[in-house]
Amino acid sequence: MGQHACMTRKPWDLAFTAEPTEVAALRRIMRLHLGIWGLAEVVDDAQLCMSELVSNVITHVGPGTPAKLAVSMNGVRLRIEVHDPDARALPTLLDANVESESGRGMALVDAIADRWGVQLHADQKVTWCELVTGLTSPNGYVEGPGVGRAEALLECYSGANPLLRPGPGKVGRAAAEESVIAVITDFLHWLRAHGCDVDEALDRAQTRYDAELDNCGDEVCRGSSA
């Protein structure tokens, strides 16, 4: 893994009131943070699990309950926790069938998450789940053919441009981003010098990128070489 591969994912938490109207905002915040963490491929599952954990508090503890969402990495797994003050109302797991409403949410979490559980404390409980990511190391990135090729290219490019060589943390990521922009700019010069339509090339690249994102469930986005 090269020098561009390090990404620090600091735990974060957010206090909220357990109300149905809060769920949409929490989903947006989850998407934003996971995008920053480079974990776009687990956004949908993370949003669904988080929504079900919050809904469980609303249903079994009560609307208006003060609660907290906490998100972190446990190794290469994404950990989602919802804290609430009632250690007596425990989540139930029932078959997700049409006739049983209570417990269906946790059945979904059980089906999607790699594992989940409940931690009981004197003044609160923590309901948590963990999702598998495509990471191979806690501070790495989700690998794939396109990412690997770009990584190799950036290694060569930063070697020729020491000022663009990244380091750790936010400063390092900013330097890496600047290096990517420099590479793209040079390729635009190359296209122009060879008589190519720069705008058309950019449009085609964007179209291909969007198409690959739409297929994030396949091997291209999950890093398989199959």
- Of 64, 73, 75, 87, the C-alpha closest to 16 is 64
H-type helices in the chain, by residue range?
A: 23-36, 43-60, 104-112, 145-160, 169-193, 198-214, 219-222
Q: In this structure, which long-range contacts are made by residues 115-120, counting pairs with CB atoms below 8 Å and at least 24 apart in sequence? A: 118/90, 118/91, 120/87
Query: What domains appear along the chain, each with residue ranges and CATH number?
Result: 12-132 (3.30.565.10), 145-222 (no CATH)
Q: Helix, strand or coil for residue 8? A: coil
Radius of gyration of the chain (CA): 21
- Tell which residue, 115, 63, 86, 74, has the closest CA to residue 106: 115
- Consecutive sets of 10 residues in the chain, 226 residues long: mean pLDDT of each? 65 97 97 92 96 94 96 97 90 55 74 95 94 89 72 72 58 74 87 90 89 60 38
Strands of the sheet containing 125-132, edge to edge, are: 12-18, 65-74, 77-84, 125-132, 115-120
CB 123 within 8 A of CB 87: yes
Residue 98 is classified by DSSP as T
0.75 exceeded by pTM: no
The reported pLDDT for the residue numbered 160 is 62
User: Rounded distance, CA 79 to CA 130, Å?
Assistant: 4
Question: What would the two tokens of residue 15 be?
Answer: 């206090």
What pLDDT score does 162 carry?
60
pLDDT computed for residue 166 by the predictor: 54
